[in-house]
Structure 1
Amino acid sequence: MIVFRLGRIRTPQGPGMVLLLPFIDSFQRVDLRTRAFSVPPCKLASKDGAVLSVGADVQFRIWDPVLSVMTVKDLNTATRMTAQNAMTKALLKRSLREIQMEKLKISDQLLLEINDVTRAWGLEVDRMELAVEAVLQPPQDSPAGPSLDSTLQQLALHFLGGGMNSVAGGAPLLGPADTLEMVSEVELPAPHVGAGPSPKQPVAEGLLTALQPFLSEALVSQVGACYQFNVILPSGTQSIYFLDLTTGQGRVGHGVPDGIPDVVVDMTEEDLQALLCRELRPLGAYMSGRLKVKGDLAVAMKLEAVLRALK
């Protein structure tokens, strides 16, 4: 029993009879026995594009009752969320075959990762066992190119309930606003050069060029990434621009960047204007399908720092 006297914590009392002062003492009971819970089966995407339904069984015990009361309000919920997040991150990096063949090894690794977090709460996980309920979709081995980015697949499954479209090569497809498409990395077309620019092309070019006065070494230090924007013009043609925040004060311009971009972003000219005018947020645009990302999603979301600089 953990007793608080006028708000101050006392030495743990019990088991047995404990003397409490009415209206002065408050207490909380702590069960030191080993307990267990199950992580409900959830949909996960493996490295090779397979979709799995995976759960886990976890056994834990409290070794420091004072820490368990003082550091976390809802210990069961916090432990369950920690286990589920660790399981998701670990399976994203492995193929279906590795998950099936090395299930015990993965469980042991997860046990260590979870304990690194929960020991600060006075809690220790004694056992964790993965349970692969079903393979909902086989691996997508595509000869036309590398496998899909599994991080984007996982976000699509988490936020859109498993609705996932993909293209195994070729140029990105434009879908309706309520869908989210992941595309494999493909060789990007050269910048569009025609006999004359489309009427709307100067608008997109002007919007991105207007970023140049706001670029700085501090922004380069904060973002440290190179972006390529494939902007779909109202005429249906595509124009390519770049934003390089890797050296100096950064550069922005028309065409492909000098090196390989960290992130390639596909969007319409109208959405680009809404983004730069801060009428649209990068995460909201991504979740609604108006912004399509090829590359590291976390790096793509650093565009928020660029938009803050426009203030």
Structure 2
Amino acid sequence: MVPNYQRIVVFRLGRVRPPKGPGVVLILPLIDQWQKVDLRTRAFNIPPCKVTTKDGGLVSVGADIQFRIWSPVMSVVAVQDLNASTRLTAQKAMTHNLSKKTVREIQTERLKLAEHLSMDVNEMTRPWGLEVDRVELTLESVLKGPDDSLSGPVIMPPSMPGLEGIAGPIQQLAMHFLGNSGVSQPREGLGDTVSFVDEQGPPASAGVKRVSVEELLAAVELRLSEQLVQQVGACFQFQILRDGLVNNYFVDLSKGSGKVGAGTVAEPSVTLQMSEEDLLALFLGTLRPFAAYTSGRLKVHGELRTAMKLEELVKLIRPQ
């Protein structure tokens, strides 16, 4: 008798059979071998481990992970010890991802980092018939502060004529797309999060700001043309992760003069899934599409060749 939350994987003369249950299951003695699989959500804890961050800091970080089995047969056939393998995979993915972040990003963006970690672990454990439902990072302590020489804000140059009344990050983006050679570009190796400090404004407005996706798309819309559509010829659907939610945007360069906006399109050429920071980094030139894809930060649904046309789009929009 198999309860509703379990399944039985049967091997008949060494060959796996479809999972059986719930309810009454008949087993042939001496011919069938069987194993129970629990489909309920389980959890485990990754004990705090030391991680050296991108800016030279040292932090102690742990995680709580919840997972469930969606394919009983794969969970039995693909891996010998499912719990141990999942724990080791999640721990390695956590240390690998956090080593690419700064101490400040780990402190302030744990929810987004947990989303990226969940996606990375799912990619590795999906062939095992396992799915991670929730990841929660716990920052125990900062054992060593970051090296000051490896971090620092990007200083804005004097205001461009005609843009004095525009807010700091929007002005920076406008100057970037208008081809002002005096705009300071983000230095390589400082991460994919771009921050701006407006030293020309009053002290009360100075601080770290970010360009939103909507502001970026508004700047992209100014560069649309029929020539751009002829060179790219594809419709990109973006699924952007922001604060645990998926926001949809599109850049349609398949007909006319092209258009951009929020929402979904009926038949996109390719669908791209990434975080908001990674999308901004792509268009600001600090992250290349192929590097984002190979590192798992860019998820592609569709033809990869079409997805890589995004790099051509970025080159045409961004001044060289």
Pairwise same-fold verdict (TM > 0.5): no
TM-score range, shorter chain: 0.3 to 0.5
Larger Rg: 1
**TM-score, structure 2 length as denominator?**
0.44
